[in-house]
A and B are shown apart, each in its own frame.
Chain A
Amino acid sequence: MLSRLSRRSPFNTSIFRSFATARERDEFRLQEYSQKYLGYRKAVFTEKLEIIDSSKAEAVPIYRVTDGLGNFIDSSQDPKFGKEMSVKIYETMTQLNIMDRILYDSQRQGRISFYMTNFGEEGNHVGSAAALKNSDLVYGQYREVGVLMWRGFPLEQFMHQCYGNSMDIGKGKQMPVHYGSKEHNFVTISSPLTTQLPQAVGSAYAFKRQPNNDRVVCVYFGDGAASEGDAHAAFNFAATLDCPIIFFCRNNGYAISTPTSEQYAGDGIAGKGPGYGLHTIRVDGNDLFAVYNATQEARRVALTNKPVLIEAMTYRLGHHSTSDDSTAYRFKTYLVEKNWWDDEKEKAWQKEVRKRVLKAFGDAEKTKLAHFHELFEGVYDQVPELLKRQRDELDNHLKEYGEHYPLDRCLRK
């Protein structure tokens, strides 16, 4: 190994001896460093002793399209959504918000075991989802429900998953809000943070190898998750292996109780992008138009096998927060101005969604769990002998002790 490396060394003495001047030698060295070490970035020598102070560097600017009141600042940046699309965007955001409120309350009442709301981030989900193609593969963390909703995942299925009942396509295996749908190209959520990032890169690589590829992968994660080693792995693999992927970071300022000042000391998540050789942009996550434009452009760039990092800045809103700055509120102003929405429509829509959610929730609550044998299914593609024996063991146990188990909650075989 050592001998192999030394054969390739740029510091081969015979080459150096042939330089006539120090300048020629410097140029050779700079060229070597530039090509072999720095991905053709142009490096220069400096005689000034200066250690870079990252806190002095300018922060990556935040791209926006509308101001705080929802007015377009540069009309050329207006994506000019039609009526149908605009209404769908608004309806998806508000439907998600209503579902969140009802499920959050039901978790408080102990009717479901766990819940995670999306307050304040609806615009990120819907704005980015609208800019992707539905065939693009999405990997999420757990706060990207708006993407699934945008793609038409049925309300009923959200509820079935939260109850883990026999209608849940995930077969009742995971905690609530760990959604997934093959049909909607949304990879099933798992709890370990950031594991989805290098996986998303692998899927993007698989897409790249397909002839005439027209799909990208979009992977969502939070600012806390970006601290995991898997984030580093993913950024680096995506860049060195030229993968068609969008890294979408939702930076809401906190990971549980930890503020970003204790999470990182650099220029947020976007600040990391250029260090890995990623195309990078920071957007105002409460500006749906900005999120949409950035994702659409990122998708175009990613399709040329250049990975893109988007950092969307949002607020973490509380359950009952009705901030005037919320994306849905700002987007509603836009709809009302175009005469595509009014108070009457709003009232009717709110009432309808509430009714549908409550109905789906009630139905899901009443639906039985799958037969308990389901617990042995899907460990492997087929149930191995060892597990069949354990299944028999449980059957025999329940024959004698069944009364001590919630058998009546399960379907009969």
Chain B
Amino acid sequence: MAAFRPFSSLLVGGNTRQLLAKRGAAHFNFQPSDAPKEYGDVRQKMNLCQAVNNAMDIAMDTDPSAVLFGEDVAFGGVFRCSIGLKDKYGADRVFNTPLCEQGIAGFGIGLAVAGSTAIAEIQFGDYIFPAYDQLVNEAAKYRYRSGGLFECGKLTVRATWGAVGHGALYHSQCPEANFTHTPGVKVVIPRGPTQAKGLLLSCIRDDNPTIFFEPKILYRLAAEEVPVGDFMIPLSKAETVRKGKDVTIVSWGTQVHVCLEAAQLAQEKLGVSAEVIDLQTIQPWDEDHVVESVKRTGRLIVSHEAPKTSGFGAEIAATIQDRCFLHLESPVNRSCGWDTPFPHVYEPFYLPTVWRVFDSIKKTVKY
């Protein structure tokens, strides 16, 4: 796919915060997390981009079969996620491919089939669609269709993801629901540097093909104290990031921060106690965690940047009404992107903002 990427060039070595400042404030405030003790005592301030780099560094150091490849990764990547890794591990382990996403995905599958750990980068989630056939028909079905004779579990596809302030149609998409309809792949999205590192290491070492979406707006904007050692955050486990008793809000990626802010507003303005859950793994997702929370609060809001119709929020809503029917005090609310392509100048009106999530809380608790 012809990847016309004006924004990648803007972001090289640039400062997202400055860019955003030029165009008005970001639509959220990043809320750092405090990593649990078991991930290690020694910590270092890292932004999300550095955390991803650190995870790949550890993965390559601990697994000589691991290789990292994609468009422009050798010089450090257009977002600087692979910086320094070619010098450290050699040009045969960190290398550029031709500009061809279906080739990158297919090549990665083949590496994994032959026993190598393959870390493939798709420069933007928006450009993952040429690789869709390889990921959906091939990677996801490899183990199943061969009766377990062959598999590509050592494949991880990393792609940048989500709104960035000015990315318009092809530098903003959240394609997770396109993949959650495909049994056989895992889909994972972190909300900050600590999660990015721990979840990415889990993806790389998981025995199933995984797609790891990195919220690109957080690359530089999100910084926190990240444990420097080798630690993994388990897949298919959600995390409650704010405890509450009146309503449950489920989200992932950047939107978790939007929801946290809306929850705080609801506390201050409405005296409502909202519980916020970061799903982390979108497929296979942690149903029990959400069910437990909704059974306590009796109310559920799902919020994601992607369009509403057939978004993953629909899956969560359907499952929860099925499993928590007698506990629900109000209809499950979905606060999502509109069912339009992602627009350029109208981005502030497109996104499920703090105020839209706040309004959802208000309407849900008053139902």
Interface residues in chain A, defined as those with a beta carbon under 8 Å from any beta carbon in chain B: 1-2, 4, 137, 168-174, 178, 180-182, 187-188, 190, 192, 195, 197-207, 209, 229-230, 232-234, 236-237, 240-241, 377-381, 384-387
**Extra 9 A-B pairs, beta carbons < 8 Å, given A198-B105, A202-B106, A232-B100:** A137-B114, A168-B147, A190-B137, A202-B109, A205-B111, A233-B98, A233-B103, A237-B103, A237-B107
In the complex, what distance in Å separates the CA atom of A271 from the CA atom of B298? 67
B110: interface (CB < 8 Å):
yes
Do the beta carbons of B149 and A188 come within 8 Å of each other? yes
> How far, in Å, is A111 (CB) from chain B's closest CB?
22
Contact at A1–B8, with CB atoms within 8 Å? yes
Q: Which residues of B contact A181 (CB under 8 A)?
A: 149
Structural contact, A378 and B100, CB atoms closer than 8 A: no
> Which residues of B in the span 112-142 have a Cβ within 8 Å of any Cβ on A?
112-116, 118, 130, 133-134, 137-138, 141-142
Chain A residue with Cβ nearest B130: A229
On whether the beta carbons of A380 and B184 are closer than 8 Å, the reply is: yes
CA distance A69 to B118 in the complex (A): 50
Query: A198 near B107 (CB under 8 angstroms)?
Result: yes
- Interface of B toward A, CB cutoff 8 Å: 8-9, 12, 65, 67, 78, 92-93, 95, 97-98, 100, 102-103, 105-116, 118, 130, 133-134, 137-138, 141-151, 153, 183-184, 186, 207-208, 236, 284-285, 287-288
A–B Cβ pairs within 8 angstroms, 13 of them: A137-B114, A198-B106, A199-B110, A202-B112, A205-B67, A206-B116, A207-B114, A209-B65, A233-B100, A237-B103, A241-B97, A380-B184, A386-B285
The answer to whether B207 and A378 touch across the interface, beta carbons within 8 angstroms, is no
Query: Contact between A378 and B143 (Cβ–Cβ < 8 Å)?
Result: yes
Separation in Å of the A116 CB from the closest CB of chain B? 17
Most chain B beta-carbon neighbours within 10 Å: one of A169, A205, A377: A205
A residues near B141, Cβ cutoff 8 Å: 190
Give chain A residues whose Cβ lies under 8 Å from the Cβ of B107.
198-199, 201-202, 205, 233, 237, 241
Inter-chain contact A384/B67, CB cutoff 8 Å: no
Indicate which residue in A2, A197, A241, A378 contacts B147 across the interface (CB closer than 8 Å). Answer: A378
Which residue from B116, B147, B148, B183 sits with its C-beta under 8 Å from A209?
B116
- Distance in Å: Cβ of A393 to nearest Cβ of chain B: 11
- The CA-CA distance from A207 to B115 in the complex, in Å, is 9
Complex: how many Å from CA A172 to CA B144? 10
A381 to B152, CA, bound (A): 11
**B113 with A236: CB separation less than 8 A:** no
Cα of A204 to Cα of B186 in the assembled complex, Å: 26
Contact A198 to B114, CB < 8 A, known contacts A174-B145, A229-B102, A381-B153:
no
Contact assessment for A195 and B103 in the assembled complex, using a CB-CB cutoff below 8 Å = no
**CB proximity of A238 to chain B, nearest CB, Å:** 9
Chain A residues near B134: list those with CB within 8 A. 195, 198-199, 230
